[in-house]
């Protein structure tokens, strides 16, 4: 964690929200790259309950109020959909706690924005998926998320403009190379060439959107496997989490990032690149699971571009890691020297694996 919060400070922070019971303990939770997150334990009439308390990183999300307006609207909409379907709601969408003024967020004395959720019990997120069946469930869950939001009225805030605009991500890389503020370009000539040699195809999805073949949707935009909770007993994907990047986007961004993060058996920052590659049976699981739910709303062009989207988003994320490395590791949290460079190299090795299997991916269509 960036700041060693004391128990007294955590108790004071959660005190900004309407929580009943006695605070017992708060501890750092998860391994997110952006926000500071704690799991809190409360005693409510002799029953132990848990909550999630999170500080929104204002260096990444410049307008946290807009972020929380998006999160609140999306969770309310999904909750209403679930209620209309007469389904059990406790584990189907995040449930925000409200601050004393009724808002789903609160600012502390330092100007930091905080939010709190009811903790989803008896479920966990997987860093590395263990089977094609899990991949199917994860993709089914994220696809259902898009399906639930297909009839959302109005437009959400674009909290990070051009978040998945791959051509602009490459432009940012080129600017970082040119400035070379930290004298690191000399270390990554191979990685820079890897990106630039694929530059011409990176605007394909945006072009199809401009032509009207691919519609704008409400998308999660960060569909790593660890951003959806899997029920411990049923193995079902039950709740999409980490909603900071929910905003207008393309459905293919969500599918592509699922494949990127879930088909690779290695960690995102794996140093031994021999362990990195796309497991095709896992890809099949994602493909089938996503079409099982989101397939009900996808256009023909969206379906056709599913394989390419996986490669594109993997290249884009690798480019972001590379750019952050060149800019002095300002965006993603790092735990060691060259951490972002290790992440970048893992993504590019995965791109190569996808390219080698692209014909098989296309054949599934």
The CATH number covering residue 112 comes to 3.30.200.20
Cα–Cα dist 293/275, whole Å: 31
pLDDT band at 34 (very low <50, low <70, confident <90, very high): low
Q: Is the pLDDT of residue 309 over 60?
A: yes
Instruction: Say if residue 48 is in the same domain as residue 195.
Output: no
Q: Going by C-beta distance under 8 Å and a sequence separation of 6 or more, which residues neighbour residue 205?
A: 166, 214, 250, 252, 253, 305, 308, 309, 312
Question: What whole-number distance in Å separates Cα of residue 207 and Cα of residue 200?
Answer: 12
In the numeric block, which tokens belong to residue 119? Answer: 């903790």
Give the integer Cα–Cα distance in Å for 315 and 139. Answer: 20
In this predicted structure, what is the pLDDT of residue 90? Answer: 56
Q: Are residues 303 and 336 in the same domain?
A: yes
Q: Are residues 258 and 194 located together in one domain of the fold? A: yes
Averaged over 276-281, what is the pLDDT?
97
Which position has the higher pLDDT, 86 or 308?
A: 308
In a domain, 1, yes or no: no
CATH number at residue 148: 3.90.1200.10
Question: What are the respective helix, strand and coil percentages of the chain, to the nearest 5?
Answer: 45, 15, 40
Instruction: Centre a 10 Å sphere on the Cβ of residue 356 and count the other Cβ atoms it contains.
Output: 11
State the Cα–Cα distance between residues 286 and 263, nearest whole angstrom.
9
pLDDT at residue 50 greater than cutoff 80: yes
Do 138 and 231 fall into the same domain? yes
What's the domain count of the chain? Answer: 2
Give the pLDDT of residue 2.
46
Same domain, 59 and 163: no
With cut-offs at 50, 70 and 90, classify the pLDDT of residue 1: very low
Residue that terminates a domain, selected from 121, 140, 158:
121
Q: Where in the sequence is the domain holding 89, given as residue range(s)?
A: 7-121
Same domain for 182 and 43, yes or no, is no
The helix (H) or strand (E) run that includes residue 286 is helix 280-293
Which of 121, 154, 189 is the last residue in one of the domains?
121
Burial 159-179 (b: 16+ CB within 10 A, else e): bbeebbbbbbbbebbeebbee
Task: Band the pLDDT of 306: cuts 50, 70, 90.
Answer: very high
Four-point Cα dihedral 145, 148, 154, 156, nearest 10? -10
Show the tokens assigned to 156: 């959400």
* Average pLDDT over the chain, rounded to an integer: 92
Q: Is residue 113 part of a domain?
A: yes
pLDDT above 90 for 209:
yes
How confident is the model over 78-95, as a mean pLDDT?
Answer: 78
* pTM (two decimals): 0.87
Same domain membership, residue 161 and residue 243: yes
| Alpha carbon distance 300, 139 (integer Å) | 19
């Amino acid at each position: 964690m960036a700041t060693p919060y004391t128990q007294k400070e955590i108790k004071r922070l959660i005190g900004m929200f309407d929580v009943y019971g006695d605070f017992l303990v708060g501890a750092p939770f998860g391994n997110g790259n952006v926000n500071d997150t704690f799991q809190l334990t409360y005693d409510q009439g002799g029953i132990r309950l848990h909550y999630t308390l999170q500080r929104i990183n204002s260096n990444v999300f410049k307008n946290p109020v807009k972020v929380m307006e998006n999160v609140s609207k999306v969770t309310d909409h999904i909750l209403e959909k679930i209620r209309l379907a007469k389904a059990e709601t406790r584990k189907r969408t995040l449930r925000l706690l409200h601050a004393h003024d009724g808002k789903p967020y609160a600012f502390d004395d330092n100007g930091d924005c905080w939010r709190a959720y009811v903790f989803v019990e008896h479920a966990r997120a997987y860093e590395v998926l263990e089977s094609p069946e899990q991949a199917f469930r994860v993709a089914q869950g994220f696809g259902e998320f898009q399906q639930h939001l297909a009839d959302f009225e109005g437009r959400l805030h674009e909290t990070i403009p051009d978040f998945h605009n791959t051509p602009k991500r490459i432009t940012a890389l080129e600017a970082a190379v040119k400035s070379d503020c930290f004298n690191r370009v000399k270390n990554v000539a191979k990685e820079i060439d890897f990106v630039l040699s694929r530059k011409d195809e990176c605007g394909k999805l945006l072009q199809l959107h401009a032509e009207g073949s691919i519609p704008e949707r409400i998308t999660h935009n960060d569909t790593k496997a660890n951003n959806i909770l899997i029920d411990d007993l049923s193995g079902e994907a039950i709740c999409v989490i980490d909603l900071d990047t929910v905003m207008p986007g393309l459905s293919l961004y969500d599918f592509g990032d699922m494949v990127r993060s879930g088909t690779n058996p290695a960690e995102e920052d794996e140093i031994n690149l021999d362990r990195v590659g796309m497991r095709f049976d896992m890809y099949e699981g994602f493909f089938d699971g996503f079409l099982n739910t989101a397939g009900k709303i996808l256009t023909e062009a969206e379906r056709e571009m599913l394989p390419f989207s996986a490669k594109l988003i993997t290249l884009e994320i690798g480019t972001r890691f590379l750019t952050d490395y060149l800019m002095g590791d300002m965006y993603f949290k790092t735990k060691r020297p060259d951490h972002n460079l290790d992440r970048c190299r893992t993504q590019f090795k995965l791109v190569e694996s996808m390219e080698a299997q692209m014909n098989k991916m296309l054949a599934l269509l």
